[in-house]
Amino acid sequence: MVETAAREPVPHRRADARREIAAILEAGVRLLGEDPGATMADIAAAAGLSRVTLYGCFPSREALIDAVLDHAVDVADSALRDESFETDPAPEAITRLLRSSWRVLDRHRRLFLAADRALGGERMREHHDRPLRRVRRLIERGREAGDFRTDLPLPWLVTTFFAILSSAAQEVEAGRLKDDEAETVLVQTVRSLLTG
């Protein structure tokens, strides 16, 4: 009995903590997606939690943004899981992957820029490691088929793919690139990059 009484609350506390974290991540994706300057207090309020509870889960704004971005990239990566990327000819597949990636990035543009600001370029790159592995495989396949250039290192082509997408997010946000021309501009830029 004592054992049960002592053990009982643990799963409850765990379940509470899971619910709290889910509420925080949901609020974080939403608020930072509207305003990259959203504060810890804003996010606690939107999640219906106290700031003490929020700080209990995430000790700093940076830690919170790291988790929010991780969550958003996970969701995006699952949405981008499309088998035909693996079977279509590489040039068409990469264009489709680029268009889909841009749409996801554009939807989360402010969150992406807030995270870039809070976490820095190297951590952003780490966060996108999984989706970029798909890009890498596609470029590799295109090179083997003779569709893509082989005069530049493969990791560099993956990096520039990511850099160009990131730049488009920054340019659209700054009003230097129109949202409705970004996709076409990206497709043409990446095509030149990969075919040389």
Give the shortest CB-116-to-a copy of itself separation in angstroms.
6
Question: How far apart are CB 53 and a copy of itself at their closest, in Å?
Answer: 29
Of 39 and 156, CB closest to a copy of itself: 156
Structure tokens, 188: 């043409």
- Give me the amino acid identity at 187: V
Tell me the closest approach of the beta carbon of residue 192 to a copy of itself, in angstroms.
5
CB closer to a copy of itself, 24 vs 135: 135
The CB-of-79 to a copy of itself minimum distance in angstroms stands at 25
Residues found near a copy of itself in the complex (CB under 8 A): 113, 116-117, 120-122, 125, 149, 151-153, 155-156, 159-160, 163-164, 166-167, 170-171, 174, 176-177, 181, 185, 188-189, 192-193, 195-196
**Of 59 and 121, CB closest to a copy of itself:** 121
Q: Which is nearer to a copy of itself, 81 or 156 (by Cβ)?
A: 156
Report, in Å, the least distance between residue 151 CB and a copy of itself: 6
Comparison of 100 and 160: residue with beta carbon closer to a copy of itself: 160
Secondary structure in 3-state letters for the chain: CHHHHHHCHHHHHHHHHHHHHHHHHHHHHHHHHHCCCCCHHHHHHHHCCCHHHHHHHCCCHHHHHHHHHHHHHHHHHHHCCCCHHHHCCHHHHHHHHHHHHHHHHHHCHHHHHHHHHHHCHHHHHHHCHHHHHHHHHHHHHHHHCCCCCCCCCHHHHHHHHHHHHHHHHHHHHCCCCCHHHHHHHHHHHHHHHHHC
